[in-house]
Amino acid sequence: MVRRVMRHVLTHQADQLQDDGIAVLKWLTGGERRALPWSD
């Protein structure tokens, strides 16, 4: 299941490379905005 999610996220994020580190952090944390305290 994890691989399926990772594959989906990576494919989705590939279209949003403009977000640079933010997109990567969202993927790594999996919590998106909730895991990014500075993105109030």
Interior CA angle at 34 toward 23 and 6, to 5°? 45
pLDDT > 60? residue 39 = no
When pLDDT is cut at 50, 70 and 90, the band that residue 1 belongs to is confident
In a domain, residue 40? The reply is no
What pLDDT was estimated at residue 5? 84
On whether residue 7 sits in a domain, the answer given is: yes
Number of domains in the chain: 1
Assigned domain for 16 exists = yes
Domain membership flag for residue 15: yes
Please tell me the predicted confidence (pLDDT) of residue 14. 64
DSSP-assigned letters across all residues of the chain: -HHHHHHHHHHHHGGGGGGTHHHHHHHHHSSGGGG-TT--
Within a domain: 10? yes
- Whole-number pLDDT of residue 19: 61
Q: For the whole prediction, is pTM greater than 0.85?
A: no
User: What is the per-residue pLDDT across 7-35, written as a single tens digit (0 to 9) for each?
Assistant: 887 777 666 665 667 767 777 777 555 55
Domain of residue 31 covers: 2-35
